[in-house]
Chain A
């Protein structure tokens, strides 16, 4: 079955710096790659997603890139702000129904 590896597990940056979180997946049939943000005490919330027919997608300060050949995808956050501090999860969808999540990255942005 699908396996999603996520790195790093923790990431600390200064306000205004960029942050990059990387994920690899194992199932070449996976075709949908969402990113979720989880704030303390809340459920995860979708922030951006990408499909396998697209290489890059941007939404204001966040962007996701996908390399199908290498089977990895990354989340890029530019001009980080304290409110970006949260746990971020990547996920991949197998051919089927289940989303498989990575183990999460705790991002801390200090001002």
Chain B
């Protein structure tokens, strides 16, 4: 099993450009999450999907949109990138949200917005 995979690994954008970060899991998990990690700020939840067909905002959703394409895939879209969105983005999945389940993280996407 590959676990949680993310593409791309690295990306450089110019201000105003758009892009989609892709995430897929092969563990048959119901819940998936998008976090951003900034120096000294820990991990902050952007959006999550408790189950296929549902999405909810996390702590820092502004400037982002998400799509739960199917049970395996959860994408994060930046419609008009800003330098403040320079960060490392992690996707994670768990069996279910709302209970004490381990979250499995992908390797991350390092995004720079110039």
Q: Is residue B78 contacting chain A, with contact meaning CB distance below 8 A?
A: no
A residues contacting B by CB (< 8 A) are 6, 9, 31-32, 34, 36, 41-46, 49, 51, 89, 93, 96-104
Question: Would you mind naming 17 contact pairs between A and B with Cβ atoms under 8 Å apart?
Answer: A34-B100, A36-B105, A42-B107, A43-B107, A44-B90, A45-B105, A49-B100, A93-B100, A96-B98, A97-B48, A97-B56, A98-B59, A101-B43, A101-B44, A102-B42, A103-B42, A104-B42
B residues contacting A by CB (< 8 A) are 4, 31, 40-45, 48, 50, 56, 58-59, 90, 92, 97-98, 100, 102-103, 105-108
Interface pairs A-B: 6 shortest CB-CB = A43-B105, A103-B42, A32-B100, A97-B97, A101-B43, A97-B98
